[in-house]
């Protein structure tokens, strides 16, 4: 896919992986729109993004998504790349059952259902473009669960949906479907799970843009590829490897 003249929406583009992708794309001739829930963070991010637009919008809130889609269709009719990057994870012990349902519901809404809703609403715009793509950001835990149990399950759901969407859209349209699967990345998001030992978000962004250019649809960044190969050889061993020390 062309990586230089797109009109790109990045949900959760004000920090971490989303911001690094926004920086690369904004610097290489793309029109970039980022979203987030905090205006101050959005404004700060925009100072690092030449000519980008920030829109305050929470992917988990239907009214926010309606308003976002209205702005996009009115002001950015050439929108041809949607990166579903915003995510939510809460570290807790599923063996202590209190709160598990509420947390899982919250994670499923942001990481899975919200992606389906936004894609549904933006697909008519994408289908009207000569070249278009959806990118869903899942994780290494889409294959094998790690310490964030119900978060892992939400990313496994996103992975399954992404595979089905890719097949369905390839039959009925030219919209491409990518899945970005980072390993542990050093961002604010991963701080509760030793994220400082992870790779830099700029590395994820670089690998992503290369994969986009090559039409590599399942983008297994860094250690994700190693865990994926281990999982194919021995799902049990991969599961053990992904567990935190007791």
Ligand X SMILES: NC(=O)c1ccc[n+]([C@@H]2O[C@H](COP(=O)([O-])OP(=O)(O)OC[C@H]3O[C@@H](n4cnc5c(N)ncnc54)[C@H](OP(=O)(O)O)[C@@H]3O)[C@@H](O)[C@H]2O)c1
Given 151, 161, 217, 231, the catalytic residue:
151
d(CA 96, CA 121): 38
Q: Looking at beta carbons only, is 16 or 145 nearer to ligand X?
A: 16
Question: Can you tell me which of 3, 6, 7, 11 binds ligand X, judged by CB under 6 A?
Answer: 11
Q: Looking at beta carbons only, is 38 or 75 nearer to ligand X?
A: 38
Min dist CB 186 to ligand X, Å, is 7
Answer whether 17's CB lies under 8 Å from 205's CB: yes
Question: Is 60 one of the binding residues for ligand X (CB under 6 A)?
Answer: yes
Q: What is the DSSP string of 51-68?
A: T-EEEE--TT-HHHHHHH
Question: Can you tell me which of 31, 85, 150, 162 binds ligand X, judged by CB under 6 A?
Answer: 85
Site string for ligand X, 129-168 (x = CB under 6 A): --------x-x-----------------------------
Strand order, beta sheet including 132-137 = 53-56, 31-36, 7-10, 81-84, 132-137, 175-181, 218-220
Q: Name every residue whose Cβ is closer than 8 Å to that of residue 201 and which is 6 or more positions away in sequence.
A: 16, 17, 19, 20, 185, 186, 187
Q: Which of 58, 89, 32 is nearest to 205 (CA)?
A: 32
Question: Is 37 one of the binding residues for ligand X (CB under 6 A)?
Answer: yes
Q: Looking at beta carbons only, is 21 or 125 nearer to ligand X?
A: 21
19 Cα distance to chain centroid: 12
Question: Can you tell me which of 17, 118, 126, 203 binds ligand X, judged by CB under 6 A?
Answer: 17
Query: Which residues does the annotation mark as catalytic?
Result: 151
Residues near ligand X, by CB under 6 A: 11-18, 35-38, 41, 58-60, 85-88, 110, 137, 139, 182, 184-185, 187-190, 195, 198, 201
């Amino acid at each position: 896919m062309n990586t230089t003249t797109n009109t790109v929406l990045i949900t959760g583009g004000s920090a971490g992986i989303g911001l690094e992708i926004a920086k690369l794309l904004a610097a290489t001739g793309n029109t970039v729109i980022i979203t987030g829930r905090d205006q101050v963070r959005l404004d700060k991010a925009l100072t690092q993004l030449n000519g980008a637009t920030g829109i305050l919008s929470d992917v988990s809130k239907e009214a926010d998504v309606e308003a976002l889609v209205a702005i996009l269709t009115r002001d950015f009719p050439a929108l041809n790349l949607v990166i579903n990057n915003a995510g939510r994870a809460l570290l807790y012990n599923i063996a202590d059952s209190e709160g598990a349902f509420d947390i899982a519901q919250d994670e499923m809404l942001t990481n899975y259902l919200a992606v389906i809703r936004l894609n549904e609403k933006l697909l008519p715009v994408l289908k009207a473009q000569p070249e278009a793509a959806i990118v869903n950001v899942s994780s290494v835990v889409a294959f094998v669960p790690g310490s964030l149990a119900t978060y892992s399950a939400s990313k496994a759901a996103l992975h399954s949906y992404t595979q089905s969407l890719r097949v369905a859209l390839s039959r009925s349209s030219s919209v491409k479907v990518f899945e970005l699967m980072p390993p542990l990345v050093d961002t604010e998001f991963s701080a509760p799970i030793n994220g400082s030992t992870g790779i830099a978000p700029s590395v994820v962004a670089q690998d992503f843009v290369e994969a986009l250019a090559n039409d590599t649809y399942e983008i297994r960044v860094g250690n994700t590829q190693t865990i994926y190969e281990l999982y194919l050889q021995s799902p049990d061993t991969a599961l053990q490897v992904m567990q935190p020390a007791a």
